[in-house]
Amino acid sequence: MPSESSTSGVGRVIAGRYLLLNRLGSGGMGHVWLAHDQRLACEVALKEIVFRDPAEAYEREARVARARAEARHAAGLRGHPHVVTVHDVLEHEGLPWIVMEYVAGAVNLRDLIEQRGPLAPAECARIGLAVLDALTAGHERGVMHRDVKPANILLAPDRTGAPYGRVLLTDYGISVQPDAGETRYTLASVLVGTSGYLAPERATGGAPTPAADLFSLGCTLYYGVEGRGPFDRESHLAEITAVVMEEPRPTARAGALEPVLRALLEKDPQRRMSAAQAEAALSRIVTPEVDAYARTQTDLGSQPHWGGAFRPPSGSPDGPHGPGSVTGQPGGPQGVRSLPEPPGGPQGLGSLAEQPGELQGFVAWPGGRRRTRPRVLHAVLAGLLGLALAGAGVWYAMAQESETDGTERPYGAAVGLGDPLTGGDCVLADWPGTAPFRGTPRLSLDPSCGAKAPDGQVMAFVAAASAAQAREEGPAACEERTEEIRGRLADVRSFAVVPTEAGFEAAGRRTACLVLGAHGPVYGPLGEHRKAGAAFADTATMQRRDCLDVRSHRDARLVSCEGPHDEQVLGFTRLGADVTLTEARTESDTACAREVPPREYGFDPSVYTAGSWTSEGSWKNGTHFVVCTVRKQNGGTMEGDEP
């Protein structure tokens, strides 16, 4: 069935007036075209609403209404120097088109940073002031933008010809005016926004507010000066989890902008920097004041490596079904399967089916089981996170330098290891307080790498010329070295064990890079340290694209995908907080078919079907994570020739 919008393009005339010249880009709701207004003989930009899939038809009314709301809200800010002007909204062949100002020579902030590198703090502050001015104008009218992010900030030459001198906020497509009594065009259980830029109170079901837009602005400015978002992770689920539960990554280039970013990214909206405070702080960075007594100037940090002059980019238009229990579709060839529960209870897995641009899922945060006392959430979030999010993130830690208790321990007395870590070492981690991944854990080895349900494993090393270099570069380098394996597992984090000054030589002059379970043990070896033919003790060690030999409903083995196998792991999802384990046995296959459909991985739906593995432990701790697989409908063996 074709899209409900026309598939024709260049040369088409819209509403008898606008000649489409070329496509400028695409977004969550459709395409943006450069068009020629034949009546006024000028160029404009047209936003076309597109339905890419027949399944989206049910959203038609809501999407059309959202488009009209975008036009209305943006038109209310007509003439603002930092908002893209909306001229009109019209209907053509039953769908709305938004007629907007065409900004010649513009590039969005995301693309600029990707092509040219991070901005200097002062330049980033200048952009922030302009966007803040636009947001404040909207807030004064009761309009919340709800999707402030680098891709929605345009930079273009100003009237003097200064490259990127003009700053414009665009795309009010999901904005809302809550005090006007207008219809909300999203379901109550659905979050709308961009995962790594969504305020924590919005992620936990709160209403859109000016403070939420300011949090998104903080994330955007962080991206501008650091070259990546403060909560960038491997998936949208991991990003939204980091927004709610974790502190932003430490800055490296922010200079004078760092305290502003920290204040804007405050998780408690009541303590977050206000618009007036942000304006004052950003203004001081753009035009630093000289202290008459100290005669010092605000540190603006380093300039971008591509120099001070901006240039437009070329071509710019300007369970096993898991330990304990397995879910299988009733009547399916595999039936209902289960594995014996490992010592200490199984570890859950988690992910969501993500859509680019907008975060469309809202799920409950589970209580994770750790070796230390139960995790205590930030007091402000405690009341909000009864139904929050599950996922994975990245945290760093460094060993303390000052405690050596008379010996040159490689990583200091706090870590406690007498010998340096080696590749593949499995470790147990005991955290010093009530919050895992905060502070320095005391580590011990698990030689069995399974019998004691290890918390994680050494997956890489980063060499350094000095202990100072290890402290400075080790954590970020470990994150990079473990990125691939973390992308294949559902619920792990990176952790850097950095040598002390006294133990630098004993540590082999290198930082050990761990991959630790985010909410509990991993129950066995990870990645390439696993052996072919080994039985899975828990779903926690199952990776994307693993191939499984299913010997019984309690016994699944890791095998090569080049030979015969029964199932292949495609990804992860989770079931709702109200779903019992008994219900999961009949629902998880359906959930995987919906959230991680095999057809999207190239499997013929007439031959293959979705399978799933669930862990009893994930129901005990409330995570409800599911491993999603693909298998043949007739129960036959997959022979290694699949996509």
Instruction: Report residue 561 as tokens.
Output: 């995908």
In angstroms, how far is CA 71 from the centroid of its own chain?
A: 29
Cβ neighbours of 32 (radius 10 Å): 20
Q: For this structure, is 147 an active site residue?
A: yes
Cβ-Cβ contacts under 8 Å for 123 (sequence gap 6 or more) = 304
- 642 residue type, one letter: E
Q: Record the tokens describing residue 349, joined without a space.
A: 């897995």
244 vs 392: CA distance, rounded Å: 11
Q: Tell me, what amino acid is at 594? A: R
Selecting among 53, 111, 133, 147, the annotated active-site residue is 147
Q: How far apart are CA 6 and CA 13, in angstroms?
A: 12
CA nearest 396: which of 476, 469, 457, 500?
476
Scan for tokens 């996170």, then name that residue: 385
Strand order in the sheet with 567-574: 555-559, 547-552, 567-574, 625-632, 608-614
| Backbone angles phi and psi of 49, in degrees to 5 | -80, 130
- Smallest Cα–Cα separation from 541: which of 485, 499, 585? 485
> 364-378 burial by CB neighbour count: b if 16+ within 10 A, else e?
bbbbbbbeeeebebe
Which pairs count as long-range contacts for 78-84, CB under 8 Å and 24+ apart, including other chains? 80/133, 80/134, 80/137, 81/130, 81/133, 82/130, 82/131, 82/133, 82/134, 82/167, 82/168, 82/169, 83/134, 83/137, 83/138, 83/168, 83/169, 83/170, 84/154, 84/168, 84/169, 84/170
| Sheet containing strand 456-463, strands side by side | 442-445, 426-430, 456-463, 510-517, 492-497
Buried b (16+ CB within 10 A) or exposed e, 147-157: bbbbbbbbbbb
Task: Look at the block and give the residue holding tokens 């010998």.
Answer: 419
- Which residues does residue 148 pair with via DSSP β-bridges, in sequence order? none
Number of alpha carbons in the 13 Å side-chain half-sphere of residue 608: 26
Q: Are 156 and 81 in contact (CB under 8 A)?
A: no
The response to whether 620 counts as a known ligand-binding position is no
- The rounded radius of gyration (Å) of the Cα atoms in the chain is 26
- Inter-residue contact 364 to 622 (CB < 8 Å): yes
Paired tokens of 504: 């630098």
| Token pair 């046995």: residue | 585
Helix 275-286 with 121-140: angle, nearest 10 deg: 150
Please give the positions annotated as active site. Answer: 147
User: Known binding site for ATP: residues?
Assistant: 47
Which residues make up each annotated binding site? 47
